[in-house]
């Protein structure tokens, strides 16, 4: 009986802290880590098909099926986090939590696929990107375009 009461109080405390924004749910953290895995590569210049073929496979975007299109941002995560500090703009889904900045990127477009074999064409450029940010502090959680 005392254990049930203690657990109930802990749950109430956690819900209160979540409501106040003092504790972030792991969902936001996992989305931030997923964003980094899928879109951040500060160590390479990219731009080639060889780069895309390697990175898409290494970063797990060829299983269970080939991802059609992906963009890698060639900037450190601090620079990308700073994009979240720019003024809000509307995302493709209508939410107002997107932000834009100009960075160097490699766009990887699927050109051929067969079981266990995804082939991509790479194209490097410096261009405007739009990312959705969430959390406190704001961090990138979705590449919007």
Return the active site residues: 39, 142
Task: Return the percent helix, strand and coil in the chain, to nearest 5.
Answer: 35, 30, 35
Of 90, 109, 107, 108, the residue nearest 98 (C-alpha): 90
Distance CA 36, CA 29 (A): 11
**Are the CB atoms for 31 and 138 separated by under 8 Å?**
no
The angle subtended at Cα 20 by Cα 15 and Cα 21, nearest 5°, is: 95
């Amino acid at each position: 009986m005392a254990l049930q009461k203690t657990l109930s109080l802990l749950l109430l405390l956690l819900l209160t802290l979540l409501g106040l924004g003092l504790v972030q749910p792991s969902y936001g953290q996992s989305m931030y880590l997923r964003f980094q895995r899928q879109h951040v590569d500060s160590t390479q210049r990219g731009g080639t098909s060889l780069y895309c073929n390697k990175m898409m496979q290494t970063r797990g975007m060829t299983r269970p099926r080939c991802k059609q299109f992906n963009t890698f941002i060639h900037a450190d995560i601090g620079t990308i986090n700073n994009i979240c500090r720019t003024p809000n703009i509307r995302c493709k889904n209508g939410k107002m939590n997107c932000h834009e900045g100009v960075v160097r990127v490699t766009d990887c477009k699927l050109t051929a696929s067969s079981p266990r074999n995804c082939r991509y064409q790479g194209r490097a450029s410096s261009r405007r990107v739009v990312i959705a940010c969430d959390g406190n502090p704001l961090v990138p959680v979705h590449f919007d375009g």
